[in-house]
Amino acid sequence: MTREANNFVRVHLTINGRRVEQEIPAQTTLQEFLHHHLKFREVRYGCGEGVCGACAVLLDGEPVASCLLFAAQADGREIATACGLDNATNHADLLREHLLAREAFQCGYCACGMLVSAAHHLDAGSDQTAAAIRRALSGNLCRCTGYEQIVEATAATFAGENVPPVKYPRDDLRGKLDGSVRYPTDLHVDNALVGRILWSEWPSAKIIDIDTREAESIPGVEAVLTHKDIPGKNLAGTNVFVEDHPLFAVDRVRSMAEVIAVVAARTEIAAAEAIRRIRVRYEPLAPVTDVLAALRPDAPQIGAHGNVISQFTEIKGDVGAAFRQADLIVEETYRCAINDHACMELEGGSGWLEGDTLVLAIPAHSPHAARRAVARALKMREEKIRVIAPRLGGSFGKYLVTSIEGYLALLVRKTRRPVRLVLDRQEALGRANKRHPFVGRYRLGLKRDGIFLALEAEVMADAGAYVSLTPAVISIFAVEAAGAYEIPNLKILARGVLTNNLVTAPMRGFGSQQISFGIECIVEKAARELGIDPSVIRRKNYLTARRNGRGQKIPSSKICLDKTMEAVIRRLGSRPEPPPGWRLGRGLASIHAKYGYPYGFVDRFVARVAVDQDGRFTVESDLSDAGTGIASGMARLVANYFGLKKVPAYVLSQEAVDDPSGFLFSRGRRPSRFRAGLFRFIERRQTLTAGRLQLILSRQKAGAFIKIMRVLAPPVNFFNKSVSGIKTRLFPFGVDSFIPRISGSRSMLMAGAAVLHAAERFKKAALAKAARLLDTSVDQLEVDGEGIHHRSDLTRRVTWAELAKQAGQVGTLAAVGEAHLPEGALLDPATGNQVGPVDHMDGSHGCDLAVNPETGEVRILRYVACHDVGRILDRETIRGQLLGGIVMGIGQALFEHIEVSGGKVQIAGLHDYLVPTSLDVPSGVEIELIESGEGLGPDGAKGVGEAGAVAAPIAVANALYDALGVQLTRIPTTPEDIVNCL
Amino acid sequence: MRYLRPTTLEQAIAGIGEGGIPLAGGTVLVPELKHSAGENVTVVDIGRLAALREMKVQHDDVQIGAAVTLARLSAHADLQRYATALVEAAETVGNPQVRRAATVGGNIALGIPGADLIPALLVLDAEVMLFGTAGEELLLIEQIIKNGMPAGRLITGIKINFHESRRSRFRKFAWRLASGKTIVNVAAALRIENGRIMAPKLTAGGLSKHPSRLPLAENFLDGQAWSDSLIEQAARAAAAEVVVDVISPPAEKYRRKLVAAGLRQLLTEMSRS
């Protein structure tokens, strides 16, 4: 019998062949022991409930969830982690190569756990069909990929297939598969204090009093901080356009997402106890939890500027007259529920001091923005804060606005000790940022032959308690309200409304997804009421031309949309037979959705191309890897540009991240502090002015609003253009500050342009140098994969390595490139409408599904998608992005829903928030790509990150409509909704 | 938290007698205890007691140790044949990783509405083997459900009699096909003699604190020959008689529909095999 004193136990384990013996608190889970104590960081954590599988290890040869075991339970047993699979299993090596060749992972957070399950199944599974593989992997959630490529790779490994040749292998993924990369929550510092947050108890209340004395007296508690402990400004990281969201609540809470206090303690238990002992007296107020309720004149005003905090219109023609000519008018209200990003890595990170520098390892798209927010709250100089954010375990837009870094920084500053603060899944679901829920009232007028005459719509987003990035979402609502269709008369009113729900953040397809759902639903309803085939009514009304952000008309939209719909119909083929007793439904969707930003805001993407004395190329930037493939995408562009044999390594330049002036990636001289500060000031004024204008104009009625916009258009365009010009010309440095960067499917467009610019400048410099070395003129020289040679004499050559050696003292030849958003107008002076996003992507989806009318169960039988991606730069990356988006969209159509009652989230974990498993999503999703070459990205490529997620919910919803004969007007559609509608 | 790992059943019972919480797979207890159990909480790890990890097949019954995992249980060929409902129930719990840890005894001891093994054990007339200071005991699963676990006892296993001609099936409804939280589950067992249904047993779970038998529906089937209308009658009777008192969504009306649909499906399949 084992019995130890002080509630400690001695545990002996063999891990990956290594014997380990340690005395640990009895409560330590196996995952905590492996990951935190023994530093097997590949044993990750995503839920603590045995749903996500990120913590899977082999225990005596069998995959188990290590978060569901106390380490003591595994005493004396043998463990293999993902890093020990080569000895513990027989096929791990080949499996890894197949996975890499298919780019089967994106953010990679789930990869190690997935690998454990897959490698075990290859050895032990009696059945190696795709269905059996899916079953074996059903305890491992992947949020990025949609599982298809993982299943394919596992099946190919079993079949002993050769690894398909890949021109430029994804070396950035290798580290995710062999367990060597680190995510923010892996950067676990020894003896770090445990940070915990006290959240608001009420969605709306006054705070009478906060008493932390009792909590502070608990042994092991090192700090209890509230709003009183903020040395600088009490502002969270969400305040991009409007500064309304406090880091800590002071005298009022407006949502359950409000933070009252944070604690740091020596143990989890002490931290939890301290949270329980903070006494907060509230005076609860009636919460407003619905957009329509918030719009009532007598509704409580949530913010200082009223409940409508953002408004845009899109007005064209004469809707009233057009409706009078219509043969049919269809009306309906559609809704999208609250969704969570459900990144597999939980939100959190660590902070510590290095000398007097505060180091923060956190998830962030824009490390600079996070640091700026911390500096503002802590009243510190930015140079004294270092943000490490090389990659994220999923984001999907979540980390465009951030907040935990502020709490972490305050705790580290106060305790002078390392602190680790990671939200648990219940907090992530119940308190952290959510997607904007949507309500849209639609009225569509048509002729008998199906030609659209007029669309009137009032579309609204629930912004939650603070403005956050809502204006960006609302702007998209207005511009994209008519979807992929030419509608001559439009009257669209788009509004962002405050409620006491959780704070919102953009999520994959932000704006585009909700608004595409709305228009596609009303179009479907019109088709069914007129008895016209849904594909025919779409084709009759497709946009004849699209307009990009420079205001240019691109005439081929109709051609593209037609082609994508044709492909979808062709691939769907004849209608399949549903199982006996089930009903079949076929649904279609066409989208014309943004990539890139709507505004003419100018921000700067930078990249650096370099070669060292060994002839090794690197591509550097300050962009973190959220799994979108941008890191390898940039490197591949360089490989292609120079015809290199090996793809350069992508390096996130920490020096560039550390330099708040952005000088390292600049072409000019080092800016003075004054000049850098001026740049910052101008940029801040630009965003805050936009936010302020939105707040003021949101109070106007639609008619007055559009008149004001018409009047404002020339000065706004002039102001924006001059600011852009000033920023580009006078400040050729400075990475972005408040505008999030990797977002809105624009990474390839922007980073691609920056890296190609760098490559061009690099080539120019290299040729000049080579011309001197070879004693000839530049026009006699040519670039090849290995260096530069003379056109007519191949023996006269200089290699990249030699060029680097000649390049001054550092021995590196390098060039910096940059890209800016196109300088376009924001508003059309003639109409007052917005000009819109820089560009759009066209695509169509089709879905055949079976519904059981008795139980409401849904099985997707076939799913096809066709997109114009502009140019295929990397087929597997594009396929992975689209597949992952489709599965996320299917999840949002059928499963995912944050259930809220009275402003309080009712679900607690991944048992309740239903991220689809490998068994819940269709297999064999077919994706066809079209290359119009018309994108704004490198070689005419378009952004694809969001498109799959935008279209998929529509195809599923329309297929359900077809099967049931009734249109369900809200997603997600649960089996219960289906049964009730019949 | 104190952690004990007894090496004998007697030591385990002593630990439990002192207020210790029995811990087997840990899939439910570990997340609950890891960051909240105070210094005075004791867990008694019974997961490695050899006596609880055995599966003994005799000629007309099987004894499954309480610490046998659901994965081991569902891989057992005799159980697949003679206790199909139990195997099908075990296969629907959680996901592969969870099933490799979760145990038979744990599922019974949980006492939650959605415990998937219970409906199957009910229709199979399973007996629960208990051990306490007074020695061994054998109780019908129904008694444990009705009266709760007798104090100071440990579940050591279950015993199921094999009937050559008995067939049993199980079906679970959840929003998701893996890691699905049970909304409704149903199980059925019966024998066919001379073309007649004998000793039909039906249960539905996920609807109230405990799964319950469905005597009215069973009455419809008892002694009858298969027909579509008979199945329909039984399914409807079951949906009407089952007690629903969980208040979380989905609504009662829908849950009753699932009971009918589930039993209709099970019985139809059983009538054809």
CATH of the domain at A21: 3.10.20.30
Choose the weakest-confidence range: A48-57, A389-398, A452-461: A389-398
Identity of the residue in B26, B96, B176 whose CB atom sits nearest the CB atom of A914:
B176
- A7 in any annotated domain: yes
B264 touches chain A (CB under 8 A): yes
Across B144-167, average pLDDT: 91
Q: How far from chain centre, in Å, is Cα A709?
A: 31
At residue B162, what is the residue type?
A: F
A772 confidence band (pLDDT: 50, 70, 90): very high
Please identify, among A111, A145, A179, the residue that sits at the C-terminal boundary of a domain: A179
B36 confidence band (pLDDT: 50, 70, 90): confident
- A675 in any annotated domain: yes
Q: What is the pLDDT of residues A408-448, one digit of tens each?
A: 999 999 999 999 999 999 999 999 999 999 999 999 999 99
Tokens of A862: 């076939």
The per-residue pLDDT for B38 is 80
Identity of the residue in B34, B38, B97 whose CB atom sits nearest the CB atom of A53:
B97
Identity of the residue in B36, B179, B257 whose CB atom sits nearest the CB atom of A51:
B179
Global confidence as pTM? 0.96
- A221 in any annotated domain: no
Cα A898 from Cα A431, distance rounded (Å)? 11
For the CA atoms of A531, A534, A535, A540, what is the dihedral angle to 10 degrees? 70
The per-residue pLDDT for A809 is 66
Long-range contacts of A905-908 (CB under 8 A, 24+ apart): A905/A256, A905/A429, A905/A430, A905/A431, A905/A502, A907/A429, A907/A430, A908/A425, A908/A426, A908/A429, A908/A430
The per-residue pLDDT for A2 is 43
- A101 in any annotated domain: yes
| CA-based radius of gyration for chain B | 19
Residues in contact with A647: Cβ distance below 8 Å, sequence separation at least 6, in sequence order = A168, A169, A171, A632, A635, A636, A638, A639
Please tell me which residue of chain B has the smallest CA distance to A976: B254
Which chain B residues are closer than 8 Å to A270 by Cβ? none
What per-residue string of b and e applies to B194-224 under the rule 16 or more CB within 10 Å gives b?
A: eeebebbbbbbbbbeebbbbbebbbebbeeb
Q: Do B3 and A70 touch (CB under 8 A)?
A: yes
- A157 in any annotated domain: yes
Please tell me which residue of chain B has the smallest CA distance to A918: B178
Residues in contact with B100: Cβ distance below 8 Å, sequence separation at least 6, in sequence order = A62, A63, A64, B69, B70, B71
Q: What are phi and psi of A216, to 5 degrees?
A: -65, -25
Tokens of A268: 């989890």
Q: What is the pLDDT of residues A29-61, one digit of tens each?
A: 999 999 999 999 999 999 999 999 999 999 999
- Portion of chain A with pLDDT greater than 90, in percent: 77
Q: What are phi and psi of A613, to 5 degrees?
A: -65, -15
Contact at 8 Å (CB) between A623 and A819?
A: no
The per-residue pLDDT for A558 is 84
Q: Please tell me the number of Cα atoms within 13 Å of A859 on its side-chain side.
A: 15
| CA-based radius of gyration for chain A | 28
Please tell me which residue of chain A has the smallest CA distance to B260: A854
Which CATH number is A748's domain given?
3.30.365
Paired residues of A907 in beta bridges = none
Q: Do A272 and B36 touch (CB under 8 A)?
A: yes
Domains of chain B with CATH codes: 52-161 (3.30.465.10), 166-272 (3.30.390.50)
Q: What is the pLDDT of residues B221-267, one digit of tens each?
A: 999 999 999 999 999 999 999 999 998 889 999 999 999 999 999 99
The per-residue pLDDT for A169 is 84
B243 touches chain A (CB under 8 A): no
Q: What is the pLDDT of residues B49-85, one digit of tens each?
A: 999 999 999 888 999 999 999 999 999 999 999 999 9
A6 confidence band (pLDDT: 50, 70, 90): low
Q: How far from chain centre, in Å, is Cα A38?
A: 31
CA distance B143 to chain A (A): 30
Cα B130 from Cα B159, distance rounded (Å)? 11
Cα B255 from Cα B259, distance rounded (Å)? 6
Cα A920 from Cα A940, distance rounded (Å)? 36
Contact at 8 Å (CB) between A745 and A349?
A: no
CA distance B179 to chain A (A): 6
- A86 in any annotated domain: yes
The per-residue pLDDT for A550 is 67
Domain that holds residue A156: 1-179
Contact at 8 Å (CB) between A6 and A25?
A: no
Q: Please tell me the number of Cα atoms within 13 Å of B23 on its side-chain side.
A: 32
> Does residue B109 sit in helix, strand or coil?
helix
The per-residue pLDDT for A601 is 61
Contact at 8 Å (CB) between A31 and A66?
A: yes
Q: Do A911 and B179 touch (CB under 8 A)?
A: yes
User: Into how many domains does chain A fold?
Assistant: 2
Q: Do B98 and A62 touch (CB under 8 A)?
A: no
- Of these ranges, A80-94, A657-671, A732-746, the one predicted with the greatest mean pLDDT is A80-94
Q: What is the pLDDT of residues A207-221, one digit of tens each?
A: 999 999 999 999 999
Residues in contact with A907: Cβ distance below 8 Å, sequence separation at least 6, in sequence order = A429, A430, A898, A899, A913
Average pLDDT of the residues of chain B:
94
Is A110 or A687 the better-scoring residue by pLDDT? A110
Cα A833 from Cα A964, distance rounded (Å)? 39
Inter-chain Cβ pairs, chain A and chain B, closer than 8 A: 159
Contact at 8 Å (CB) between B62 and B159?
A: yes
Which chain A residues are closer than 8 Å to B96 by Cβ? 63, 117, 135-136, 138-139
Which chain B residues are closer than 8 Å to A61 by Cβ? none
The per-residue pLDDT for A604 is 77
Cα B203 from Cα B211, distance rounded (Å)? 7
Which chain B residues are closer than 8 Å to A912 by Cβ? 181
- A224 in any annotated domain: no
B11 touches chain A (CB under 8 A): yes
Helix A747-774 vs helix A630-642: crossing angle, to nearest 10: 30
Please identify, among A147, A163, A179, the residue that sits at the C-terminal boundary of a domain: A179
Across A149-154, average pLDDT: 97
Cα A188 from Cα A418, distance rounded (Å)? 9
Cα B45 from Cα A537, distance rounded (Å)? 65
Is residue A66 scored above 70 in pLDDT?
yes
- A17 in any annotated domain: yes
